[in-house]
Amino acid sequence: MDDVWLSMESTFNKVAKEILGESKGCLPPKKDTSWWNDEVKQAIRIKRECYKKLGKSWSDENIEEYKEARKRAKKTVKEARGKVNKELYAKLNSKEGEKDIYRLARLRDRRTQDIGKVKCVKDVDQRVLMEDGEIKERRRSYFDTLFNGNKARYISDLTISDCMVNRDFVRRIQTTEVKEALRKMGRKKAVGPDDILIEAWRSLGERGVEWLTSFFNMIWRNNKMPTSWRKSTLIPLFKNKGDVQECANYRGIKLMSHTMKPWEGVIEQRLRRTVKISENQFGFMPGRSTSKAIHLLRQLIKKYRDSHKDLHLVFIDLEKAYDRVPQEVLWWSLIRKGISREYISIIMDMYEDCTTSVSTNVGGLRSSILLSKCTKDRL
């Protein structure tokens, strides 16, 4: 299993480097070019041509010609920028531009925060750490405690009888399922440790789908996915609230192998066809959204107000819920729902021996963390 995947992974990376080359992995900051137009383009082109002529001959005529072209280019750019700014201010002063004012204010405030360059963090005693080694260890220990801490679980009453286990036959994976999983995958996502983007599989067309289908069925038969898929990189992202030096104010986003996501997508779609979910469930459900739930709630409030009746609402916010869900409860719930034993074994394998390396602003990755308790949806 591992040999098959490692061979494909090395082939992908080798061909990509030969054909596409390697980049530094980052893009320069975007500049405001809303003022750019054909007139500005023409003025800049003339200025560059005059500059090239000046490089060949420093005659008085070429010098004056370049100065005049440079003066015209500056004037054209200034007029273009002034026109765009005037249109922007006119829009912001209108009723339609009220939302744009707040959006622009938030954007400018975010630029002044300089969050991406914050290195120092606080330890459990609120002492600011400045050494690179201490900062890395603090990041690692925080997520280690978050994912693997609080191991005292009272789940002894979750009994399962042998008659509850579903042993129904499950058919092998079809190419149509793999196609659908690839179609639902997002584009331009950050790559995982293997550096293989999902766009690479899409570019292979039918041959790529056939290879993935065959490989997924191989995983199915062996009940074991490749070892490299169990490794990931965790990126701490600031939540834009609270102390920027406090680890608890960062959300961990895990970058994993893109090829693993279609595999999970195939299993997910099969489970959705098997399990009946209540109509009141809006989270993680296709065709349902938070805005629709809020709309229904407002209708309910209006109905009770018109009838002059009391309406009691309860809002429950579970702190770091996904981080603290015991995996044993997940397996118990799947069995109670009548999910086939084949699917449960596959899902349990997805969680087996998973590790992640924490990325830090001081450079490099900290030693891996064994993710023994957290759920995948959280990252």
Is residue 215 within a helix (H) or strand (E), and if so which, with residue range? helix 205-222
- Cα–chain-centroid distance for residue 329? 27
* Residues 6 or more apart in contact with residue 196 via CB below 8 angstroms: 9, 12, 13, 257, 258, 259
Torsion of CA 37, 43, 45, 51, to 10 degrees: -150
pLDDT value for 161: 60
In a domain, 14, yes or no: no
Element (H, E) at 271: helix 260-274
Q: Do 60 and 189 share a domain, yes or no?
A: no
Residue (of 330, 148, 136) closest to 236 by Cα position: 136
Residues 282, 139, single domain; the answer is yes
Scan for tokens 């003339």, then name that residue.
46
Structure tokens at 341: 């034993």
Amino acid 26: pLDDT: 64
Beta bridge partners of 122: 128
Cβ–Cβ < 8 Å for 216, 265: no
**Residue 214, token pair as written in the block:** 């065959």
**Host H or E run for residue 234:** strand 231-238
In order along its 379 residues, the chain shows pLDDT tens digits of 788 998 999 998 888 888 888 777 666 667 778 888 999 999 999 999 999 888 888 888 889 999 999 999 999 999 999 998 888 888 778 877 777 777 777 777 666 665 556 778 888 888 988 888 888 888 888 888 887 765 555 555 566 666 667 777 788 999 999 999 999 888 888 888 888 889 989 988 999 999 999 999 999 998 899 999 998 888 888 887 888 888 888 888 889 999 999 999 999 999 888 888 888 888 778 888 888 888 999 999 999 999 999 999 988 877 777 767 778 888 888 888 888 888 999 999 998 888 888 888 776 555 555 555 555 543 3
Q: Per the structure, how many domains does the chain have?
A: 2
Task: Specify whether 80 is located in the same domain as 161.
Answer: no
Tell me the C-alpha to C-alpha distance, in Å, between residue 229 and each of 5, 241, 283, 314, 353.
10, 33, 27, 40, 10
Q: Has residue 107 been placed in a domain?
A: no
The CA distance from 162 to 58, in Å, is: 93
Token pair in block for residue 206: 């039918």
- pLDDT tens digits, one per residue of 296-341: 999 999 999 999 999 999 888 777 777 677 788 888 888 888 888 8
Exposed, middle or buried, 326 (CB in 10 Å: 0-12/13-18/19+)? middle
Based on the fold, state whether residues 309 and 192 are members of the same structural domain.
yes
Helices and strands: H and E segment counts in the chain: 12, 6
pLDDT, tens digit (0-9, with 9 covering 90-100), for 88-121: 888 778 877 777 777 777 777 666 665 556 778 8
- Extract long-range pairs of 277-283: CB within 8 Å, 24+ residues apart: none
In a domain, 105, yes or no: no
Domain containing residue 57: 34-95
Burial of 365 (0-12, 13-18, 19+ CB in 10 A): middle
Asked if 331 and 363 sit in the same domain, the reply is yes
The Cα–Cα gap between 224 and 347 comes to: 10
Do 63 and 132 belong to one domain?
no
Q: Are residues 214 and 310 in the same domain?
A: yes
Mark whether 196 and 260 lie in a shared domain.
Answer: yes
Residue 329, in any domain of the structure: yes
